[in-house]
Amino acid sequence: MMKVPRTILCLVLIAAILGAGAIAPVKDARERKFAATDGKAAVAWQAESRKLLFDLMKLTDLAAAEKKGIDFKAAELGRRAGVGYTWQELEINSTPTRRIKIILTIPAGAKDLPAVVCIHGHGGNRNVVYEEGLYRAFARHLAERGYVTISTDVGQHEVYEAGRTLMGERLWDVMRCVSYVETRPEVDRVRIGCAGLSLGGEMAMWLGAMDVRVKATVSAGYLTTVANLRNGHCPCWEFDGLTANFDWADIYSLTAPRFLMCQIGQKETAPGGFPVEIARGAMEEVQKCYGVFGKSERALLDVHGGGHVVDLEAMLEFLKNRL
């Protein structure tokens, strides 16, 4: 048998492909990709998607228990004076069998004030959002400006309760922060927001998406795609059923038509970063959902000159105008 040179064989294969027509684009495999064309269909997609995600994250039973009321059994662990506010450390029930520690700041003379859930990133804890560095002490700045603030720890890489998921437990803990500030007499329940950087930006995305009590979300250093997260990032974000159904633009779209700001620094790098060009493409998808509601102006992409940091002034201005 005559041996066909590899170069000729490749040319024959290419000719065959071209003869059959243009190469078909790779099909988007997302089962639940946002595709609604009117507000009613978008609301239905959001409700169905949240229900599926609660199931996938193993939170459906807790959501049902929350409707009946899970007692916080709050215990104060310490307090001190801040600049115009009181800082407290508390312990509360997250689930009927698991307790979490939180930081709570209450402005002096507080009454009917907005509240913000402030969320740290990898390697951080509930305290770092009040400190300088990558976070620009954004929680402290909010506290000094008359916001009630609350933070808890979301950086664990272990599942605490049998039958849960890591991302489900992280999300549930920040949802319980919303539930707790709702009970505080100092807080206006219709003016609750959330903000975070990196993993905190991810958890702000999830909290804004899954908890409609949150009226304004600032997600810093996270807007991206699943494909990018598989390139040099911690894989702790993944859980069964997520990527078969959604990309991050779909999760952010669950926030519509409530207020959303995503922040990305021009000095973000890859791998392991959150490049601006990827964020722009993801925001275009998010804008489609907001556009269906006629509220495109409520979803913003803030591209700033820094790296993987909070754009403090833009965050403060956004929350001031929306809460």
Domains in the chain, start-ordered, CATH in brackets? 37-322 (3.40.50.1820)
Q: Which CA distances in Å does 119 have to 108, 196, 224, 256?
A: 23, 4, 18, 21
Residue 50: the pLDDT is 98
Q: What confidence score (pLDDT) does residue 27 get?
A: 54
pLDDT at 11: 35
Burial (Cβ within 10 Å: 0-12, 13-18, ≥19) of residue 23 = exposed
Residues 6+ apart with CB under 8 A from 186: 106, 107, 110, 111, 112, 113, 148
What pLDDT is attached to residue 196? 98
Q: What is the DSSP letter of 181?
A: H
- What pLDDT does 109 receive? 87
Q: Any idea how long the chain is?
A: 323
Provide the β-strand partners of residue 227.
none
Read off the pTM.
Answer: 0.91
Low-confidence ranges of the chain (pLDDT < 50): 1-26
| Residue-level pLDDT at 13 | 32
Q: Locate 68 and state its tokens.
A: 């009946």
